[in-house]
Amino acid sequence: MINTVLVANRGEIACRILRACTEAGLESIAIYAHNDAGSMFTELATVAIPLEGETIAETYLNQEQILAIAASHGADAIHPGFGFLSERADFAKAVIDAGINWIGPSPKAIEMMGDKMTARMTMKAAGVPVIPGEEIESEDEAAMISAIVEASHRVGYPLLLKASSGGGGKGMRKVEEPTNLEEAIKGARREAIAAFGDGRVYVERLLTGSKHVEIQVLADKHGRTIHLGERECSVQRRHQKVFEESPCPVMTSDLRSRMGQAAVMAAKAVDYVGAGTVEFLLDSSGEFFFLEMNTRIQVEHPVTEMVTGVDLVREQLRIAAGEPMSCGNLMIRGHSIEVRLYAEDASNNFLPAIGPLAIFRPPVGPGIRLDTGVREGDMVTPNYDPMLAKLIVWAPSRPEALERMRRALDEFVVLGTTTNIRFLRELCDNSDVVSGNTDTMLIDRVWPNGWKPNYSQTSLDAALMVAAVSESAGLHRVQVHESESNDGIVSPFQTLNRRYP
């Protein structure tokens, strides 16, 4: 039995988990650093406990402090969310050793899938197709360089160097020709050591023009492992996903069956329990290759929930309590798209932005969902990831879902800090996105010199401010001057969020 869940996370995912706990009739505990005092997630829990310390290492990554809070406040389960400690096998083991339920897979499964080289070897043994490449066991830099140079002749160019403990694009280098290989190995190794404390790097063939397609899996403690279909996550910038959807536009029933079976085989190979995601690269010929397994709930899980009707976080709670999953025969219904709203300047190499959320007005209407941990009046700081929200839509078909997303982005207004809303809106009009002909290089290919809007950010912010004032005054339309176009009449918010002609 589980009665009280401590959420070892913050922000949007903490809100998501805490609401699921409330709906499940469970007590909940939020933990927060001092700069998160008063945040939305702290108000959704039964009780919120402050963490001592200033840095992330002293607060959200402080295993001893989190376990002490769990023990002193009667938590009998811990949900790690994503990021932070969610894929730390040592934390999962410490939770279990303390007699507390761990809402996630076993420490062994986390460890095996967290080490990319071990994961590759495990998948090969299980019969799951992997990207052509070679694992390099040596940690000595000179020996590693020698081994990778030798392996590169067998793997072929272009190739990809990847950190064994990597994630989020860290410790990764694309190498087009042999003359750049040695320096790329050193750079990948330095970055891997700084990010993960592990300098091991291996090599894979770089598959160009491929789609990033992942399969959601769910496994309970009663021996049942299923998949819930796929998510297409090809549109990425700096190896970070931007635009996700389900189902994949090029998916067939046969391909879904084969990829789903491979994902279930991958989960069973490590005795997986809970919700997890098996990521693949899908090439134009229909071949697919194992990329990695994420042993946690994914940022983009809502699109799967929207098309299957399954509450994945609620299932995590059931499974951790020893109950069988509640999923029966599943059917993918309609189409769902998610975009990630970031506080960042898309026109300046997607650099993070800070500032107050002076106005934060999400869209509403049928088929629209917003997962967020912020609200109007909050301050965006450099302390944490700059993602503000996930905007998710559902519609009966993909064209209708795209049109609904366009409308939702047109109506989404954020003032006080720079966001990527205009970039996301333009992305929805891109011909490759509209046709479903996306791949992992789309953003680099369409905007090789970086994305630039057709207007200045300053003039747009000024126009939006005028629109906000005009709306407050009860006006319906407002005259604005745009420096790169003629004077024009625009309706508040909706038209201003669109690209000017």
pLDDT at 477 over 60: no
117, part of any domain: no
144 and 62 in one domain?
no
pLDDT value at position 254? 96
pLDDT value at position 469? 56
Instruction: Give pTM, 2 decimals.
Output: 0.88
CB 283 within 8 A of CB 291: no
218 and 295 in one domain?
yes
pLDDT value at position 486? 37
235 and 140 in one domain?
no
Mean pLDDT for the stretch of residues 448-452: 92
Lowest mean per-residue pLDDT among 306-310, 431-435, 493-497: 493-497
395, part of any domain: yes
345 and 395 in one domain?
yes
pLDDT at 475 over 50: no
pLDDT band at 170 (very low <50, low <70, confident <90, very high): confident
pLDDT value at position 455? 63
pLDDT at 488 over 90: no
Mean pLDDT for the stretch of residues 86-102: 97
194 and 224 in one domain?
no
325 and 262 in one domain?
yes
What's the number of domains the chain is made of?
Answer: 4
Q: Give residue 406's domain range.
A: 211-446
Rounded to the nearest integer, the mean pLDDT of the chain is 91
Lowest mean per-residue pLDDT among 22-36, 58-72, 88-102, 155-169: 155-169
Question: Is 296 part of the annotated catalytic residue set?
Answer: yes
pLDDT value at position 495? 45
CB 28 within 8 A of CB 46: yes
Selected catalytic residue, list 16, 189, 200, 296: 296
pLDDT value at position 20? 98
pLDDT value at position 480? 40
Mean pLDDT for the stretch of residues 431-457: 89
349, part of any domain: yes
385 and 247 in one domain?
yes
Query: What are the Cα distances from residue 162, in Å, to 24, 135, 138, 398?
Result: 40, 10, 14, 34
User: How many CB atoms sit inside 10 A of residue 72's CB?
Assistant: 9
pLDDT at 230 over 70: yes
DSSP string, 306-339: HHH---HHHHHHHHHTTPPP---S----SEEEEE
383 and 256 in one domain?
yes
> For position 343, which CATH number holds?
3.30.470.20
pLDDT value at position 487? 39
Report the percent of the chain where pLDDT is more than 90. 83
391 and 286 in one domain?
yes
